[in-house]
Amino acid sequence: GASTGALALYALPALRRHGYRSADAAGLVAAAGSLGAVAPPGIMLFFVADAIGVQVPALFLAMLAPLALLLVLYLAFAIVRGSPVRVEAAGTSSVAGALLTAGLMVGLVALVALGLATLSEAAALGAVGAVLAGALHGRLTLRVLDQAIRQTALLSAMVFFIFVGANVFSFVFRLLGGAEMVSAGARALGTGSYAPL
């Protein structure tokens, strides 16, 4: 939810400005936002790891290859569908900013993959790296920092609101016997012991 909200806030207007159709822009934002559930260090990885009994770093590493494949497919779709409007070539500052952002992301994933940082430490390092990148480009002001903190708090509140709502729904669902009904239905399909899990 948070990643899709953030992407819709920033990427959707940018895609529309560059001439993407509304349907294509919304599809790209929704598809990329769905990666937030599985992209390390997505919060869903913690719940899935706990549910299936694996360590979070192992699941983190297992998600890298499928995530890379999905990113390549999304990029191919964006290139094939393409922007119908010619846009000016990106300036050197925007290219440098994109490379700096990509380098920061790859560096954080490498730190976690090599076991040099935990997921929480990587998140903190990412925040520090973003602040330093803003200062390096001369765009770090108190107003920008305040706006970033407010938007982060808003997105975090949205995620926790979704989490609370999902827990309430899950509790009521289990209380009314929904989990047993779903398990019984899965067993009735004759798929063995894997379906009810």
Nearest to 133 by CA among 94, 104, 105: 104
* pTM reported for the whole predicted model: 0.50
Q: Binning pLDDT at 50, 70 and 90, where does residue 12 land? A: confident
Q: Binning pLDDT at 50, 70 and 90, where does residue 80 land? A: confident
pLDDT of 1 > 70? The answer is: no
Using CA atoms of 179, 185, 187, 190 in order, give the dihedral in degrees to the nearest 10: -160
pLDDT for the residue 88: 54
pLDDT for the residue 94: 66
pLDDT of 116 > 70? The answer is: yes
**Residue-wise pLDDT tens digits, 82-115:** 655 555 555 566 677 678 877 887 888 788 778 7
Looking at 26-35, 38-47, 109-118, 131-140, which range is the least confident one? 38-47
Burial annotation 146-176 (CB, 10 A radius, 16+ → b, else e): eeeeeeeeebeeebeeeeeeeeeeeeeeeee
pLDDT for the residue 197: 52
